[in-house]
Amino acid sequence: MHTDKKPYEVGYLLSPLIPEDGVIKVLEEVRVSIESKGALIDNTQNPKYIRLAYPIKKETHGYFGAIQLHIAPSLIHEVKEALDQNGQILRHLIIEWKKEPPRQQPTLKAFQPKEPAVAGIVAEPAGPVEEKASEQEIDKKLDEILGD
């Protein structure tokens, strides 16, 4: 499929000064410039308007998007130069990525009580159940304790 090409992802931040209806047009320009360098685009995340954690080129908002592509490693610098020359891109980042199969969720087993943590200890029922004491017995016991 992509014999000598490696997978990359380009994350980019577009200027907030671009009108909302013009963002898709700028995205198409970016896609065309990347494809003209010999890249095969796998997936595109449309730019979303976000608030930035800190100002970038004096801007506090921008449109963030990403493009996943395959390209020969020797041509990645040309993609970087094309992105650098686009004045509507505030910042970009190109990373190499690899597809991983989706993770399987571990299956949970039903709770099974285990053996006691300390060997030889067995829970025994409490001693014999005493009958309730009457009020008179309680008063008598309190008098003994208090020394009256």
Helical spans, DSSP H, in 1-148:
23-35, 76-85, 135-146
Q: How confident is the model at residue 8 (pLDDT cuts 50, 70, 90)?
A: very high
Query: Which pLDDT score is estimated for 127?
Result: 63
The domain limits of the chain are 6-96
Q: Could you tell me the CATH superfamily of domain 6-96? A: Ribosomal protein S6/Translation elongation factor EF1B (3.30.70.60)
Q: What is the mean pLDDT of residues 18-47?
A: 92
If you ran DSSP here, which 8-state letter would residue 92 be given? E
Mean pLDDT of the chain: 85
Query: Which pLDDT score is estimated for 148?
Result: 60
Those residues with Cβ within 8 angstroms of residue 46's Cβ, 6 or more apart along the chain or in another chain: 24, 27, 65
